[in-house]
Structure 1
Amino acid sequence: MKRGTMPLPFGVPVLSIAPAALADKLRSLPQWVMGLEEPGLARYLALTALGAGDADLAASGAGLAYWSWQRAPFDPMRSMLLGHALPGGPAAQFSAALGQRLAGEVDVDGLAALLSCGDASLVVRVLLPRLREPVQGLAWLARAWDGLLRLGSPDLARAALEACRWPMPIAPLRARLAAEVEFLYAPPEAALAALDELAVADSLGIFAAYGAYLRAELLLRLGEVQGGRHGLVELFAAMPWHTHLGLKLHDLATPPPTAGADDTRRAVILVYSWNKAELTRRTLAGLARTDLGGARVLALDNGSTDGTGEAMEASRALFAEGALRVIRLPVNIGAPAARNWLLRQPEVAPAEFAVFLDDDVELPPRWLRRLLGAALDNPDAGAAGCRIVSATPPPCLQSADYQLFAPANEARTFRDLPENVNVFDNCAGAMDIGLFTYARPALHVSGCCHLLRTAMLHELGGFDIRFSPTQFDDLDRDLTSAAAGHPAFYAGDVAIAHVQHSSLAKAKSVAATGQVLGNKIKLEGKHGNAEMDASFRAGLAALWADLDRKWRALG
């Protein structure tokens, strides 16, 4: 297939309305602007649009249902939504034929334990015989597929596809899944070849929109910007309701602001760590290789006993003379206090920006200048941050732009405690296929890389030590800033790899879970209903203003 061309996505409902005019209609579904890749919100929005009584909204809802199913064709909820949105269509017929082959019984708990054991050879010995079963093999694959993709072994995923039987009615699905494996693991050229095979196998174009997007993204990664952008233009013409796609397309045509070399002197970079000597050493070594310009670096050893302080001291030789200063505390004072300790250092006083980095990150070369550019271009933003991804394949999203739902006004997590702080995790741990590379306002950005405007810190205060030892202190700071009219800004074109998961994701023990829940109660007690409702409304208005401006620019 000629590079940069693709078949028109089959079955996507056609709209004749321009994106800007469609955006005006979509405002009747306020949460549409937040994002369409989180499964629960996507399902709600698609169903609401289908029943809105407007032809353009109904077509948008049907298109969203179809796109969502192409992203995860084994998901029974998405399959049901597709059948409701496009009954009798080729895609719904395909999904129904697939569903008949997924009805077999599977030991879901045993499968989950197997996939989480970390032993690929055991997975091969136990799972592959199940996949070869002529009747139930695909049922096992459907429930194992997401876990297989996340194991870090493309050969295992390929072997799983080889083990299954693929009867003719659903044979294109094998090519669709194979293309996904190659996109996530293989070099772009090999992944493009897999998409060519999908185009041949999927003669009806059931998965054409998914394939078209992956092809455009791969061309961009190869540096073939014109071909990749042309592919996205064609896809957005067919799917003008897709929030992420429109934002991505606009930002491709508009180079993001990048700070000059002299601007780096306006920032100080702050790192703290407790008992992570090797990770800290690697983080500081990687930091030293990036374009820091004149930025100073402070590293705080938070009472470590494993040589973390010594690793910090040894790292000074990697930086320019005097660029890195190490602070060593005799005891662990917790995350909020460690951050405040760093903020009180003399190097921070003249700085316009304080940039906190986790002690286990891998940084792209020009990360600082891009984040500074975003902050300087958005002077009302109290913070700026970026896309956080996994450090090892497959590329998984740990966080993107966090937005805010309206207060729940009902007890959800805790009995008799209505939840006011209703944060929307836009990416929800999804695979990173490039749909979160846009830049826009946000309620909160990850504390893994947290650029803060020091003027806001002076006005509103630092981090609340009531959230010690850790968890939610960075969110609390961004909530306070947003309530004061200074929300965050997300620069998704910058990706920082996080070696470990967040402390929230790592909370496994009863004590750790209890500490997280305790801090959640503190967060709810600190930020009341009226404050969160005002922040929700202001955030939603900012998102719609941003989308409206960008979609009008797209024509």
Structure 2
Amino acid sequence: MMTPLWLDTPGFPLPLADMLLAGTLGRDHLLRAAAMAQAAGETAPDNADWPRLRRQLLAAALEEDPLYGPTAGALAQALRAAPPGRINPAFSAQVEALAARFRPPESVAYYERLLAASNPGRIEAYLENEIRNGRAALFWLHIALHRAVLGRDFDRAAALAGLALAGELTPLGHKVAGDLALLRGDSPAALAAYDAAEALAPWPAGLFRRPLAALAAGREDVAAKALAALLRDFPEHVSAGLALYDLISGRRRGLGRLASDLCVALYTFNKADDLDKTLASLFASDFSRVDGTVRTLLLDNASGDATPDVVAAWTDRVGIDRLAAIRVPVNVGAPAARNWLASDDRLAEAAHVAYLDDDVDLPVDWIARLAAAAEAYPEAGVWGCRVLDAVNPAIAQGVDVMLLPPDQGQEEPQLSGLHAQGFDFGGFAHLRPCLTVMGCCHLFRRERLLGTGGFDIRFSPSQYDDVDHDWRLALAGTPPVYQGHLAVAHRRPAPALVRPRPDQLAGGQANWQKLAAKHAGRYAAMAAALRQATTSDLRRKYEVLAQVGPRLDAGF
């Protein structure tokens, strides 16, 4: 008998289902889903579950960004309409206090002038003064904490939070302290802070970040019970369901093997220092997980720096049988470089191909992690990973991207960007099908790499050629699979840290328009294929969780 899911409910809107299947993270993503739940409730006012879902989505949005006043205001209103006894009074009081105390300033013009002047010292002094003086303190604290986490100045962040989150906001202060500790890497402190927050003002379904902190601290028993309890109260929390399944099934720690030869292919242009570091991490990898030979094929896109010297030094170090280089006379761009590598006879000898960027830091077990994904989903067209910023690992640059329904007034669907709406607390560490993965570290079976026609050179010099290739794989019935338990550091700074140059922005926007035009008319088929893949995957996982449910109740 098929295990029913929340989306099997008669009349459950497909756009809302697609939003939830994409994940239950990201403040703006969750606020949009809550608005959809509210609209569904207005269409079916006799269904008491829509207000419950809206309340929980709003609470999840507040967990994602706990100092955002508009979320607190909407949640406070929703809680007032909740049936008696459904919500802990202390939590309601906390939300009401936050909503009442969050007041935007009359003007932010002076702050904008400070930003334009690019004087960090004056900016930080101004923010601290505004927080201390209590004039729109929570508004300015919201900005100051974001800046502090971007700069990884967690001591300053904690000190500023302590200035404003006391008294009636003490439970929220514990919640924010947990967030800062988790991002800093102190998971035991994070778990203790979340426990303190929950003891004073329990959230409607519990904090999702509490089991994430428990996982990071090695407390899998605590994490399993907390995730199971959260899902009982909030079954639509897809991210929690994915985390619980990967914990129970062992996929969270799973390592696999490639049963045949592997060719590692990468291309480079004028990044000698980055390339040297990338090759160092590559040749420190655990190649014992490959039952065959491993060869690296490197294409130098006519670099004018010391790249040829770096390539020569590494070839001498590891041998030409392990590292073969190609140097082309001009920079052919990313898609043509990928195709050039794919057409090389030496790559044709391998059953698997891993494409890497020239500015990544690979963990030792990256092959074993991708092999585990290939073993779990052998039908996939490509297996990718979670990509973190090398300078600030709290910033996720790439996760599992999904297709979202068009926003009001738009014709084209959107690509999900949940990771760009906040920091990475561990909620993207799961394994599942998706629409596209970030192309700086991904694994193919060679015949599937070549079977979709290669990478489209119309996306030269770079950007979206890998997305286009993934979309074609999804339409062909072999969707990408995301291995979120493999985190690869990317040394190209995230836009949150370094603003892209105007030419980079223009090139990206132009290539996005090419991508949208190329696939116009295919979005409905793509959305249906993705929905089928993700729903079937989630259903299988929930069937397993339903079978082990009593075991969780008794203690994992």
Relative to the length of structure 1, the TM-score reads 0.86
Write the distance in 2 (CA, Å) between the matches of 1:368 and 1:284. 15
> Which of these residues, 52, 58, 72, is aligned with residue 51 of structure 2?
58
Match of 2:139 in 1: 139
**Equivalent residues in 2 for 1:398-417, closer than 5 Å:** 398-406=397-405
How far is the alpha carbon of 1:543 from its aligned partner?
1.0
Aligned to 1:42: 30
> Does the 8 A contact of 2:178 with 2:193 survive in 1?
yes
Question: What percent of counterpart residues are identical?
Answer: 31
Cα offset for 1:489? 1.0
Alignment of 1:164-313 (within 5 A): 164-166=163-165, 168-199=167-198, 203-206=200-203, 209-210=206-207, 213-256=208-251, 258-260=255-257, 263=259, 265-293=260-288, 294-313=293-312
Is 188-197 or 462-471 further displaced after alignment? 188-197
What amino acid does structure 2 have at the position aligned with 1:435? G
1 CA distance for matches of 2:115 and 2:318? 42
Give the equivalent residue in structure 2 for 1:101. Answer: 101
> Given the alignment of the two structures, is residue 433 of structure 1 paired with residue 417 of structure 2, yes or no?
no
- Quote how far apart the aligned CAs of 1:153 are: 0.9
Number of equivalenced pairs: 523
Separation in structure 2 between the aligned mates of residue 118 and residue 314 of structure 1, nearest angstrom:
41
CA contact (8 A) 2:94 2:172 kept: no
CA spacing shift, 1:216–1:301, aligned 2, 3 Å: same
Contact 1:436 1:492 in 2 (8 A): yes
- Call closer, same or farther: CA 1:104–1:248 in 2, change over 3 Å: closer
Q: Could you tell me how far apart the structure 1 residues matched to 2:427 and 2:465 are?
A: 28
Q: How does 1:143-162 map to 2 (within 5 A)?
A: 143-162=143-162
Change (3 A) 1:100 1:215: closer
What amino acid maps onto 2:78 in structure 1? Answer: A
Q: CA deviation at 1:137?
A: 2.8
**Residues 392 and 517 of structure 1: CA distance in aligned 2, closer, same or farther (over 3 Å):** closer
| Maintained 8 Å contact 1:184/1:393 | no
- Quick one: distance in 2 between partners of 1:269 and 1:118? 42
Task: Evaluate the alpha carbon distance shift between residue 84 and residue 130 of structure 1 in structure 2; reply closer, same or farther with a 3 A threshold.
Answer: closer
- Which secondary structure does the structure 2 equivalent of 1:349 belong to? helix
Q: What do the CA deviations read for 1:3-37 (whole angstroms, capped 9, x no partner)? A: xxxxxxxxxxxxxxx98453522854422222121
Question: Could you tell me whether the CA contact under 8 Å between 1:384 and 1:490 is conserved in 2?
Answer: yes
CA deviation after TM superposition for structure 1 residue 119, in Å = 6.6
SS across alignment from 1:434: coil
| Counterpart amino acid of residue 335 in structure 2 | P
Alignment-mate amino acid for residue 136 of structure 2: Q
Give the Å deviation of 1:112.
Answer: 6.3
Superposition deviation, residue 121 in structure 1: 4.2
Matched, 1:554 2:549: no
Q: CA deviation at 1:157?
A: 0.7
**Equivalent residues of 2:338, 2:455 under 8 A apart:** yes
Q: Is the 8 A contact 1:22 1:56 kept in 2?
A: no
Q: Could you report, residue by residue, the CA deviation over 1:504-554 in whole angstroms, capped at 9, with x for unpaired residues? A: 99774443332222222221222121x221111111111111111111221
Q: Distance in 2 between matches of 1:360 and 1:118?
A: 28
| Unaligned segments of structure 2, at least 5 residues | 82-86, 547-556
In 2: Cα distance, 1:69 partner to 1:382 partner: 36
Secondary structure, aligned partner of 1:387: strand
| Structure 1 residues 447-458: aligned runs within 5 Å | 447-458=439-450
2:536 is the counterpart of 1:545: yes
Asked if structure 2 preserves the Cα contact closer than 8 Å seen for 1:141 and 1:160, the reply is yes
Aligned equivalents of 2:496, 2:94: Cα separation in 1: 39
